[in-house]
Each structure stands twice: as C-alpha cells, then as structure tokens.
Chain A
C-alpha cells in the first residue's frame, strides 16, 4: 500500500510542544567515602562488608524509608529492571561483592553502596526540576553524615576514588530526547557545543554508552571549585537552552521538512505494528520516533507517557520480570515485537 501523507497537515494539527516531553527526567548524584577505609576498587571483601554494615546502620538510625540490601540478594531480572530504570549503574552490578542498594518503591532517592565510591547518593525528579533532585540527595546526605565519618579535606572537599569526582562529588544530569535535532542533522553541533562548555554528553545507558533512541544525558564535568547550587543551576540552565533548541528543531521540521518527519513516524509505526522480531536497540529507535509523534500530537490514541512506559517495559529486565521467567535473547526479541505490536495496534497517524 502506498502512503501519500498530507505534508501540510502536521503544521495544522500540531499543538505546542510541551518542553517537559523533551526533558524526560533529571538526577543529582553525590559521591561519598568513609575515612580510614580503602576505596572499593582496592578494598578486600572484608573491608567492603564493613563499609556496607556502617552504611546500613546509618540508614537504619534515620527515618529514611530506605533499607540497604546486598546486590547478591536480588534476582538478576530485578537488578536489570533497576538498572533499566536508571536507579543503579552497570558498574555496581559488575562489582557485586559487598555492593548494596538502598531504595524503596516510588522513592525519589536511592543509595548505591560500594560502587566506585563507598556511597553514591542519588536524588531524582521529573523534567528539569533539578533543584528538587538536589534537595532530595542533599537531605539524605546530611542525615547519613550524622552517623558516618566522611573522607573530606578543606582543600579538596569530598575525597573520591577517582579524582574526576573530587570536591563536591556532585554529578547533576538531565535526560533529554533530541530526535528533532537529529532529523535536522544538527545534533553533532549541539553535542560539540555542550562539550566546549565542559559538559559531559552520554547515551541513555550512562558512561560509554551510545545515545540509542536519541536520548542523551547531559551532566557537569567539573566538581571542584564550584558549589553545589551553582553546578545544579548551570546544568539546568544549559539543559533548558538545549530543550529550546530541540523545540525549535521540531517546529522547523513541521514547517520546513514535514515529509521527513511524517516518513519517519510512518515507518516507525509500521515496523512496530508488524515486526515479528525486535532487539532492544532497534525497538528503542522506533519508539523514539513514536515519542516524538506523540509529543507533537500526530498519533491517535497515544500519549508520551505511554511511550515512556513502553520504553521501560520492552527492556530485557522488565520483560523477564513481566513474564516471571528467564528468557533467551531471541525469545525476548519475539516477545518484544509481540508486546509492542499489541500495545500499538490501534494507534494511527493523523496525517
């Protein structure tokens, strides 16, 4: 069947782009270590266990609502699910011995123990509300500090396993969906600009990962010589500027290259509704287009929040938890294709 989209339609039917759709979430992470203890990479198992016990006592002494559990006490699927939800890092899973996770369902804070540093305290928030993420991480850090002796020096601040985190130990990051800039071929210039401003730009999986689905994490590079509020404010302001650029790119796509946009959406919907096998990366690429279309109001019966939910549900850990079974890679690809085809069966392109 040949599709002849009404290329003028998008500009007529598109509602204004909510910037919240572009900024998916944000996070503030604080790296902390205990004095008189070796950093995790050089610690023996006994050292790591001792640190784990100290942090567990500190968490139990305050009403944080968090309970620290060893990484080894979680099922593999559960760990993958936490990883896919960006609550824990791949690094923590690789270091399993002595590692711990303190989190609670729907809690906006989480602590990783014996990752690269003894503690990685994280605060989360929606969109670009980074101040809330910072306040959450800061409050938990202050509570824990009552019971833990942090490694700190007046000159270098919080001492961390890697000198790239020394000082505030703070990494403030936003997760942005930048498909519009990609379709216009402008993403590379934006990334170069961000790097010139001493910001780190990474893919959805964090350090060393590709920006699959055109989802980027933007975070501060410098942690020393600037205070926490200033770091958070700077990352927030620059992220707002990137969101504005993405918004403008989307407007230009609709006005100047509607065929490119509609073609991308139509192809993605077609594949997701009909494919029999889909890998995670492949599915994420197509869902990224669906997310853009939903944000622009170009699909019937599809909201951005629903696409975000699908992005999580179709990942290996979430799928295996959903099926309550360990699945082989090709089994997962088949089930993923089936899941997305069912969930998107009634969705139609408006133009």
Chain B
C-alpha cells in the first residue's frame, strides 16, 4: 500500500534540522507546507494551511524552555484533526504524559535522536497524521522502570513486558507480531493477558489501547 501524501508543518528553530527534515520528508513524497521557527508562526501555519501533521520541537523561542510543548497543546485543542508530533532533546516522561492527557490519538512524543533512523521516523509521522499514537521507547522504558506500578508489573512475564512496552510505544498488533516474529493471534493473547493482569479494559482500537496503557503507567 502506497502511503498517502502528507501535508506537514515543521516548527523547529535550528535551520539545519528544519532543512534536513524538509529534505527527507520531501524525498518520500510528502509536502512540507511550512517550516517555521517559532510558536506564533506555527499557530498561523496550522490554522492557515490545515496540515495533516505538525512536527514541533520542544525548545523554541523566546525562552527555549517548553514553548513547543505549549504550542503543541494549543494545536491539539484548536485543531484536533491535526496530528502533533513533539520531539525533544531530553526524555521528560511528565511532558509526554501531559501531552497525551485528554487526547484520543493523533499525538506523538519522540526523542530528537530518532530522526537518525529516518524510515522509522517518517513512519511515526505518518502514524500520528493518521490519528495514531507514538511514544518514544526511552520514555516507555522510564515509565516501566519508574516503579510506580512495580507490584502489578511484576506479575507480567518477560515477554508480556516487552509486548506492553511496544503497546505503549503505539505499535499495532501487526507491528508487534512482526517485531517478535510471532503470529498476530499470539500478540492478541498476550495483550489480553496483560490487560487482565493490570485490570485494564481491553479495546479493539489500537489507539485507545495505547492511551490506556500510557495512562496506567504515567506518573
């Protein structure tokens, strides 16, 4: 299946990264409709150009703290149909779960390093544009190791923990099956078992499943 042609807005204050992202997206047949460097320009581009997805750096002017995160939240609020992929140079589980709070998909949070694995990154952009959920493996690792749910998580088998980790990253059953080279039916069984052990309500909808897992794990 040929991926659909996405309309993308990039908000990133470093020109080298802005240009690099534009190039790799363009080469794969997507439209970078705007590449901006600050939150105000992002807001204008999103409302004016109606993109499928916005890629937003956390650190942006004026104070270079969490302007990107705030901007992403306001895009989520004002334009729920636009997917938002936030990328940060640091793991901040709290920022990630803040971003995911109250959404029903179309959100992603990735470490900036992930752009190095170009295809995976483009794939993540596409999943967010399609209303999917993407959470950086590093954040998931943090959430799983932070020990808040240590007792419940201890009841999971090692394979179940691996599956939960991928679920929380936003992978579909099919993706998980191919990652472990097991059949999708086995993945389904694992997921059902995990959700039963954690006392979560299983859902056929991949996305809702991810959010339930994240909400369960969040600090």
Whether A associates with B in a native complex is no
Question: Which residue numbers of B lie inside 8 Å of A, CB to CB?
Answer: none
By a beta-carbon cutoff of 8 Å, the part of chain A in contact with chain B is none
